[in-house]
Structure formats: C-alpha cells, structure tokens
Amino acid sequence: MLATIKPLTSRKQEILEAAQALFSRKGYTDASMRDLAEALGIEPASLYSHFKSKEDILWEIAIRCAKAFNDGQEPIFSASLTPEIKLRNMIDRHIELMIDNINASAIFFREWHHLSKERHDDYAQMIIDYEQRFVQVIEEGMKAGVFKASVRPKFITSALLASINWMHKWYRPEGSMTISDIQQHMHLLLLDGLQS
Amino acid sequence: MLATIKPLTSRKQEILEAAQALFSRKGYTDASMRDLAEALGIEPASLYSHFKSKEDILWEIAIRCAKAFNDGQEPIFSASLTPEIKLRNMIDRHIELMIDNINASAIFFREWHHLSKERHDDYAQMIIDYEQRFVQVIEEGMKAGVFKASVRPKFITSALLASINWMHKWYRPEGSMTISDIQQHMHLLLLDGLQS
DNA sequence: GTCTATAGAGAGATAGAC
DNA sequence: GTCTATCTCTCTATAGAC
C-alpha cells in the first residue's frame, strides 16, 4: 500500500536530509522553510523549485521512512522461526532501523500527525500495519505457550515500541552504547524481565 | 527546588485546564492563543489579564505537573522498602500520576522544551531529579542482587518511563483497561519479563 | 535552479474604552 | 476583567528576472 517512491536528484536528497535533521530537532511546525534554506545555504524561495510545499517534504520523508521500516522488517517476519526468536529478531531489527534512520524515525512516530487529512489517514494505517506484525507474533507466541497467557498483545506492542522509539531522544552514534549493547538491554528489559 | 506555586483564581484555573488539553492535543506551537480563547468563549486579548504571555501559561502548567509527580512519588521513595517492592510501587505511582494528570503529563515530558532558556534548564534538572530516583532504586536492587547485575540503571529508567509515558497517546478513561490492569501489564512487561 | 521582492495569512501581544 | 482594534513579526508560498 506504500506510494511509489521515485528516484531523487542529489539536490532533492540534500534537502530531505537537512529537513529530517531539522524536523527531528525542532519539530515540524517550529522548523521553518527559512531555517531549512539557511541550513542548505540557499534562499527560501529556491526550495520551491524542488518541492511544492513544506508538507510535501514531510510526506516524502515519511513514506521513505515507512518503507525503510517495512522493507527492513519483511524478511524477518516472513521467515520460518519460532515466535520467541521472531519477536527477538524483530526487536533487534527495529533497533537497527532506528539507528540507521535516527532523524527520519522521529517523523515515523511523532511528526507525521502534521500531515494533511488524507495523507494522515493513509499514514496512520501504515503504522497500524507495522505494529500489527508485532501483535501477530505475540499472539502466536501465546498460542504456543512461550509467552504468558495473560498478556494483551496490543498493549505489549505499544509499550515495547515506545521504549525503543524513545531512543531518538538519547541515542548518539558516538555514545557509550553499541547497537549490540542496546539490543541486549532491550531483550533483558522487554523479554527476560528485570528481576533475577 | 520547585518554584513557589501560588493559589489560583478560578478563572486562571479554567484557563490552565483548557490550555493543558489544547497543548496536549495540538502541541504548544500549534495551539494558538486564539484557539485557547475560543475554547473558553472569550476574546484572545482577555487572556492577557491573567497571564503575561503564552509561555507563562506553559510554565505554570509545567511546574504544577512537576510538583504533582514529585510530591506523589515522595512518600514511596522515602519509605523503608526493599528495592524490588519500591520500584514496583514507583511504577504503580507513576501510572496513577499519568492518569490523574493525563493532559498535563504530555507537557511534563514532551512540550516543556518550548520553555525559554532559563526555565528550560531549570525544568530539565527537575526531570533529571525525578528520573534519578528510579536510577537510585535500580542501583540499590543491583547491589542487593535482586536486579540483574548486567543492567545499566539509566538505560532501564529511560526505557521504562518511555513505555509508561506513552500512555498519554492511547489512554482513555472510558477504555477497556482499568488502572490496575495497566499496572499489572507494566509489571509483567517491565519487571517479570514477557517470556514464561 | 536560484535569486529578489513581496503577497497574504496568522501568530503573540498591547492600547485604551467600558 | 473583558472588549474592539490594531501593531509588529514571522510564516508559507508565489511572481518574475536572470
């Protein structure tokens, strides 16, 4: 259901990358087209040779990010694995995708509500679809008896992704935690439980 | 370190409550003084008889909310309890505080970055102090051997609070989950681990 | 494709009557 | 304390020269 994603001129790519960083840091509304132009060293009006509107920039970032997350998760979801291994792999993959798309990811789950009605509704569905894969694996695990029978899969998915998505607030590539450290800690907290 | 909180006229209280709901729903920047006035059935200019600026409204909401969370957590933190019981109680209390302050809570951990420099820095410290209580209890639990020795307390605190704070996105008083349901699910996910 | 210049809308805030 | 009227600023976006 994802819209077709066209190849980009390098200028368009530059604009999108600057916009991702800016929208992520300041938020969509507080990041102005003037800010964006300044970050690129051009005049604001020049942006409109590449994108029809500010919202079009947000949309382009949003669908590319949704595609990255969906495509990245696809092989794991389609693989023939036990539910507990599959969920573990999906968490690991989600963390890797967060890190690979750290600026865009803020748009994936925070800034997309600024999209206009129709796009907003389409996008909400993409996010529901993404989350639904987690819900489904948890349900499989419950049936198989590897996850506790008392859980509500939707609640768990929400809480689990909220934990990981919060990474965009604190993650720094130069920080003390490697991807692997983060993945192990998330397993520990979200799968194995904190108590020894 | 919290600023003094003055008693309010009922009109001020009305404005703060409408502003909380509005800031929570639309975000600080996208919620205009015109929106706020309309929600209250008055003209925008009238708001300035009660608050000097839009930011003063945000600040008033922010410090009241910080105080609610700090005061609410204080008796549990000061109590003489084992670390695992204390952490459990702090999680429960944090959930109760989220529900009691569901609109203001969005400001407590999302909208406060719109505060001006000095207030922003003061507020950041309040949030660090709040989180530090969780870090401290987790450290105690590690020393006592009831929490796994391999955890990073700051990471766990961040991920744990992110999970709970995400409630402001989905929690509805009329929804199917009671406070107690939510608390039990958070224990299960965050303390006991998902795997059976 | 980038520029200068500016239109047009909406923001926060103030002055002053009542 | 609330109103009408309005100031000033900044925003997104467009027109048209180069």
Q: Block means of pLDDT (10 residues each) for chain A, length 196 residues?
A: 72 97 98 98 98 98 97 97 96 98 92 97 97 97 91 95 96 96 95 70
pLDDT at B110: 93
CA-based nearest residue to A72, from A91, A94, A88 = A94
Q: What is the pLDDT of residue A69?
A: 98
pLDDT at A3: 61
Q: What pLDDT does residue B11 have?
A: 94
Position with higher pLDDT, B1 vs A107: A107
> Does any CB of chain A come closer than 8 Å to the CB of residue B163?
yes
**Residue to substitute from A148, A163, A185, interface B, most B β-carbons within 10 A:** A163
Say how far B38 CA is from D12 C1', in Å: 24
C14 C1' – A5 CA distance, angstroms? 49
For residue A109, the distance in angstroms to the closest alpha carbon of chain B comes to 11
pLDDT over 70 at B195, yes or no: no
Protein B132 CA to nucleic acid C12 C1', in Å?
37
Digit-coded pLDDT (tens) for B146-184: 998 888 999 999 999 999 999 999 999 999 999 999 999
Contact A193 B194 (CB under 8 A): yes
B139 touches strand C (CB under 7 A): no
Does pLDDT of B3 surpass 70?
Answer: no
A150-B94-A171 Cα angle (round to 5): 90
Beta-carbon pairs below 8 A across chains A and B: 109
Alpha-carbon torsion, ordered B141, B143, B149, B153, to 10 deg = 60
pLDDT score, position A2:
56
Note whether A90 contacts B: Cβ–Cβ < 8 A: no
Contacts of B196 in chain A (CB under 8 A): 145-149
Q: What is the tens place of the pLDDT at every residue in B40-88?
A: 999 999 999 999 999 999 999 999 999 999 999 999 999 999 999 999 9
Residue A41, CA: closest nucleotide via C1'?
C2
CB contact at 8 A, B25 and B67: no
Q: Which long-range contacts (CB under 8 A, 24 or more apart) does A113-121 make?
A: A114/A28, A114/A29, A114/A55, A114/A58, A115/A55, A115/A58, A115/A59, A115/A62, A116/A55, A119/A55, A119/A59, A119/A62
Q: Which nucleotides of C are covered by protein (CB under 7 A)?
A: 1-6, 10-16
The answer for B 59-78 residues in CB contact with A (under 8 A) is none
| Tens-digit pLDDT profile for residues B113-149 | 999 999 999 999 999 999 999 999 999 999 999 998 8
Flag whether pLDDT at B196 surpasses 60: no
Q: pTM for the whole thing?
A: 0.95
* Other beta carbons within 10 Å of A6: 8
Helix, strand, coil % in chain B, rounded to nearest 5: 75, 0, 25
**Residue B187: pLDDT over 90:** yes
Does the pLDDT at position B2 exceed 70?
Answer: no
Of the candidates A175, A131, A130, which has an alpha carbon nearest to the alpha carbon of residue A154? Answer: A131
DSSP code at position A5: -
Strand partners, A195: B147
Cα–Cα distance, B188 to A149 (Å, whole number): 11
Average pLDDT, chain B: 94
**C-alpha distance from B142 to closest chain A C-alpha (Å):** 9
Residues near B90 by Cβ (< 8 Å), separated by ≥ 6?
A: B73, B76, B77, B133, B134, B137
Pair A97, A105: CB distance under 8 Å: yes
Contact at CB, A158 and B170, closer than 8 angstroms: yes
State how far Cα A62 lies from the chain centre. Answer: 9
At residue B9, the pLDDT reads 79
> Does strand D come within 7 Å of the CB of B45?
yes
Would you call A146 and B195 a contact, using CB atoms and an 8 Å cutoff?
A: yes
The residue length of chain A stands at 196
**What would the two tokens of residue B96 be?**
């109760």
